[in-house]
C-alpha cells in the first residue's frame, strides 16, 4: 500500500510516524510534499520517507492521499490538481477543520472516494481522540482502511459528518483548553511557593492520572468529584470556588466560540 501527504506540518508528521511505527505502512511507501522544502526534506531524511517535487507527484504515486494543509489553501490546491485527482482516482482524506466532504466533491468530483478525519495534537503521543467518516463513493474497504489508519495514532470513532463540527471542537480544540488548565494550576502553586518544575510536573501527572481513573472506572464525574471532597475539607473549598466562578459556563463559552469559528471556515 502507498500513502501520500500533501502538507508536512504539526499534524501530518505525527500521523506519518505513527503509521510507520505501527507497521501499517513501510517507510518507502510513504510520500510527502510540502511547499517548505527544507522542512519536508529534513523530515523525510529523518524518517526514511519519500520527498516529492509537487502535489501531482503525490497524487500519481499514491493509492491514498492525505490533505494536511490549511483549509484556506484548498481552493488553490484543487485548481492545480483536479486533473490528477480525477485521472488517478486515489482515496482522498482530509484532516481540515471546517471543510466538509461536499466541499471537496464540488471542487474535484463526487465520484472520488473521499474520507475525512478530525484528529488532535495528541496524535504526537498516539493518544488522539479522532472521528472519521467517508462519502458514498467509498466502500467497506475504504472505511476499514481509514479506521486502521486513525487507530494508529489514538482512538478512532466512525461518526456522522453532520456532527463533525461539534466533535471537532470537543476532540480537536480541547487539548489547548486542557493545557491552559494545567498551566493555570501550576502557576497557582508557584505563586504559593512551589518550584516551577514541581508545580508543572505535578499538575500534568494529576490531570493524566485523573483522566485515566475516570476512563477506567467509568464512574460519573459528579460522583468522582464527591469522592475527592470531604465535608469541611480543602478540596470542597476549591470546588465551591470554581462553581461560584461558573467554570462550566466558562468552558461552554470557549467551546461555542470555537464552534462558531468552525462554521465561519465552512462558509469560506
Tens of pLDDT, residue by residue over 215-255, are 999 999 999 999 999 999 999 999 999 999 999 999 999 99
Q: Answer whether 97's CB lies under 8 Å from 172's CB.
A: yes
Return the pLDDT at 4. 98
Answer positive or negative: Cα dihedral of 114, 118, 124, 126. Answer: negative
Cell readout for 73 is 489553501
Tell me: pLDDT of 264 over 70: yes
Write the DSSP symbol of residue 233. Answer: S
Q: pLDDT tens digit string along 8-54?
A: 999 999 999 999 999 999 999 999 999 999 999 999 999 999 999 99
Answer positive or negative: Cα dihedral of 197, 203, 205, 206. Answer: positive
Residue 89: count other Cβ atoms within 10 Å of its Cβ.
15
User: Cβ contacts of residue 185 below 8 Å, gap of 6+?
Assistant: 199, 203, 206
Q: How far apart are CA 167 and CA 150, in angstroms?
A: 15
Residue among 40, 36, 92, 37 nearest 62 (CA): 92
What domains does the chain contain, in order, with CATH numbers?
3-159 (3.40.50.720), 167-266 (1.10.3730.10)
Q: pLDDT tens digit string along 63-122?
A: 999 999 998 899 999 999 999 999 999 999 999 988 899 999 999 999 999 999 999 889
136 against 97, higher pLDDT: 136
Cα–Cα distances (Å) from 183 to 178, 200, 212, in that order, read: 9, 7, 19
Amino acid at each position: 500500500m502507498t500513502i501520500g501527504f500533501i502538507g508536512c506540518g504539526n499534524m501530518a508528521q505525527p500521523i506519518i510516524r505513527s503509521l510507520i511505527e505501527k507497521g501499517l505502512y513501510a517507510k518507502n511507501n510513504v510520500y510527502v510534499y510540502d511547499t517548505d522544502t527544507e522542512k519536508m526534506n529534513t523530515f523525510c531524511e529523518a524518517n526514511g520517507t519519500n520527498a516529492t517535487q509537487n502535489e501531482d507527484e503525490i497524487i500519481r504515486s499514491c493509492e491514498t492521499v492525505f490533505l494536511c494543509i490549511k483549509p484556506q489553501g484548498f481552493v488553490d490546491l484543487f485548481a492545480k490538481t483536479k486533473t490528477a485527482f480525477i485521472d488517478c482516482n486515489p482515496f482522498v482524506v482530509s484532516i481540515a477543520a471546517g471543510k466538509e466532504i461536499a466541499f471537496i466533491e464540488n471542487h474535484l468530483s463526487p465520484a472520488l472516494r473521499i474520507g475525512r478525519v478530525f484528529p488532535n495534537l495528541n496524535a504526537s503521543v498516539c493518544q488522539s481522540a479522532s472521528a472519521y467518516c467517508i462519502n458514498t463513493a467509498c466502500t467497506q474497504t475504504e472505511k476499514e482502511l481509514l479506521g486502521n489508519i486513525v487507530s494508529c495514532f489514538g482512538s478512532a470513532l466512525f461518526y456522522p459528518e453532520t456532527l463533525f463540527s461539534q466533535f471537532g471542537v470537543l476532540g480537536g480544540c480541547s487539548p489547548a483548553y486542557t493545557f491552559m488548565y494545567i498551566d493555570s494550576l501550576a502557576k497557582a502553586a508557584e505563586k504559593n511557593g512551589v518550584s516551577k518544575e514541581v508545580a508543572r510536573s505535578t499538575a500534568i501527572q494529576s490531570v493524566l492520572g485523573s483522566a485515566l481513573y475516570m476512563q477506567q472506572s467509568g464512574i460519573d464525574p459528579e460522583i468522582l468529584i464527591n469522592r475527592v471532597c470531604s465535608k469541611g475539607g480543602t478540596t470542597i473549598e476549591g470546588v465551591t470556588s470554581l462553581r461560584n466562578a461558573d467554570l462550566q459556563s466558562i468552558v461552554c463559552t470557549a467551546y461555542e466560540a470555537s464552534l462558531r469559528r468552525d462554521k465561519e471556515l465552512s462558509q469560506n
